[in-house]
Structure 1
Amino acid sequence: MTIDLPVRHGKVRDIYDLGDKLLLVASDRTSAFDYVLPSVIPDKGRVLTQISRFWFEKLGVANHMISINVADADLPSGTDLASLDGRSMLVRKTEVVPIECVVRGYLAGSGWKEYGQSSTVCGIPLPAGLDQSAQLETPIFTPATKEESGHDINISYERMCEIVGEELASTLREKSLDIYTRGAAFAREKGIIIADTKFEWGIVDGELLLIDEVLTPDSSRFWPEDQYQVGVSPPSFDKQIVRDYLETTSWDKNSTPPQLPEAVVNQTRAKYIEAFEELTGQTFPWK
């Protein structure tokens, strides 16, 4: 899809500049191990956009969403609106806060690895004797820098204060913990555990807004509650199927990735759609 407007292409999303607004277009591109894969996951972008819309509407937090109706973007004549349907969000342009606001409610991923070495997660001491995937007594806030390429870098809360100031850092921590707590409680009622997540924030006219995607399978770790158990890494609703497949290949993670088999593509698409339907209680419109 091509629109005759200034655009910034990310790994999986295209951001079109409309002056004081942006059009965020979530593509079906997928990435793994810091590479964009040659295979796409059909409708992945629509799932992520529609889950974010659901949360923006439900959470009651000031956010950047204006509309998910692509016709409201007033795009150049001849633009293929059908290809943008469902995967596009018209948003307010903000000054992006240069911090990933990560909240962790369970011991997983890099947090689990660090805990095994030092009984800490991002430098925060945790009780001894916790098992993999254990729920933390209270969620913890672990900020990271926003990197243009590669992985974001975990930083201390004190370092975050140095970057954005103590007042803003405190507000971001409080709001991020609140949104995660409320969102995770709702998702749990729907049979989904949100183990951890990351939020992004922006400022416009002095107002702090929740931006980017929110509590999606790509920005969060979604686990099916009925398959959750402490001591193992539960299956997830995201592209873990893709990662698991790539681990079985001879790909060296330092060159062009291989094509995905059709079965892996179909299974991954089905998982994304399942996450949308279980979370929202709605039928995915683009089946």
Structure 2
Amino acid sequence: MSDALNIPGWRHLYSGKVRDLYASQDPADTRILVVASDRVSAFDFVLSPGIPDKGALLTTLSRWWFAQLDFPNHLAEGEIPDAVADRAMLAQSLEMLPIECVVRGYITGTGWAEYQQSGTVCGIPLPSGLENGDRLPKPLFTPAYKAPMGEHDENITFERVVELVGAERATELRDTSLAIYAKAAAIAEQHGLILADTKFEFGTDASGILRLADEVLTSDSSRYWDAATWESGSTPTERMASFDKQIVRDWLASNWDKQGEPPALPDEIVERTADRYRELIERLTA
């Protein structure tokens, strides 16, 4: 999985599904180099091939969003090595919290599947009569426990978040996630986009301050839809014209039974996904 690089002054620390972390070889430097790869994941599997320039595109988008949000984040000052300048962020070393802070403003995906069966999303009861892609009465905070590498993340209740991080921190995570989503959704709306859902990750610094970390509001961590198409779309597929990796998810769901290793992505799916990633950045930053 790892595409770890030999970066002078930095040593490879860890590789996740789509990012590689490096620590400074200077013991006095506690910053982390977060390098986004071109790897793409879906259904907790890393797929092949990757998406060309994905790491650079998503890093550009994260940097842009961090600049729009009035909330402490993980970015640190300093020069980024030339070899990864377009796809890396210098970050403070944080104590990462084991919670994936998911916010859903619209019903779709696994939430829609659960709603059809039980009328709930992550156990939260919802009004009857909702259709795939509908806006929810209010955004929902539906956290997940970040499982160890190789295991599946698990949806958890707010009460379980309290058990994991304490009541005060759990409330801060929930309220902060909902507030950031609301601000980001309003910005997206100004650009003719719907932010259907997203997930945030947080860590605490040496002073105990909660900081937004990892990637933020990217095409990998969020669902973006075209607002005009959502209003006029006659089918769920038309209605939810996306600017994210939903193209990959949809193809995989139709061509893989989730048994064994996933198949390789066709060139057309790879190219369409890359095009949509680029178009999202162009629309948001225009």
Mapping 1:115-154, distance limit 5 Å? 115-148=115-148, 149-154=150-155
Larger relative contact order, structure 1 or 2 (CA cutoff 8 Å, min sep 6): 1
* Residue matched to 1:35: 45
Cα distance, 1:6 vs. partner?
Answer: 3.4
Cα distance, 1:231 vs. partner?
Answer: 6.3
* Residue matched to 1:208: 210
* Residue matched to 1:102: 102
Give the Cα–Cα distance (whole angstroms) in 1 for the partners of residues 249 and 208 of structure 2. 41
Contact 2:40-2:46 within 8 A present in 1 as well: yes
Give the Cα–Cα distance (whole angstroms) in 1 for the partners of residues 53 and 275 of structure 2. 10
Cα distance, 1:48 vs. partner?
Answer: 1.0
**Paired amino acid for 2:270:** V
Q: Return the match for 2:34 from 24, 45, 53.
A: 24
Give the Cα–Cα distance (whole angstroms) in 2 for the partners of residues 168 and 161 of structure 1. 8
Cα distance, 1:115 vs. partner?
Answer: 1.2
Give a deviation string over 1:49-92, Cα, whole Å, max 9, x none: 11111111111100111258514xxxxxxxxx24x121000000
**Paired amino acid for 2:75:** M
Cα distance, 1:247 vs. partner?
Answer: 4.6
Cα distance, 1:105 vs. partner?
Answer: 0.4
Contact 2:225-2:242 within 8 A present in 1 as well: yes
Contact 1:145-1:152 within 8 A present in 2 as well: yes
Contact 1:131-1:230 within 8 A present in 2 as well: no
Give a deviation string over 1:111-162, Cα, whole Å, max 9, x none: 1111112221111111121111110121111111011234311111111111
Secondary structure at the residue paired with 2:127? coil
Q: TM-score, normalised by structure 1?
A: 0.87
Give the Cα–Cα distance (whole angstroms) in 1 for the partners of residues 281 and 45 of structure 2. 25
Change (3 A) 1:230 1:104: farther
Give the Cα–Cα distance (whole angstroms) in 2 for the partners of residues 42 and 258 of structure 1. 18
Give a deviation string over 1:12-57, Cα, whole Å, max 9, x none: 1101122511100001111233322231211111111111111111
Q: Return the match for 1:272 from 253, 267, 277.
A: 277
Change (3 A) 1:263 1:230: closer
Number of residue pairs aligned between Structure 1 and Structure 2: 270
Change (3 A) 1:262 1:115: closer
**Paired amino acid for 2:69:** L
Q: Return the match for 2:227 from 206, 222, 225.
A: 225
**Paired amino acid for 1:263:** E
Give the Cα–Cα distance (whole angstroms) in 2 for the partners of residues 119 and 230 of structure 1. 23
* Residue matched to 2:183: 182
Matched, 1:90 2:90: yes
Give a deviation string over 1:180-206, Cα, whole Å, max 9, x none: 001011101111111111111100121
- Which consecutive unaligned segments of at least 5 residues does structure 1 have? 72-80, 282-287
Cα distance, 1:252 vs. partner?
Answer: 5.1
Mapping 1:152-191, distance limit 5 Å? 152-191=153-192
Give a deviation string over 1:156-178, Cα, whole Å, max 9, x none: 11111111111111111111100
Change (3 A) 1:261 1:110: closer
RMSD: 1.9
Q: Return the match for 1:55 from 51, 65, 68.
A: 65
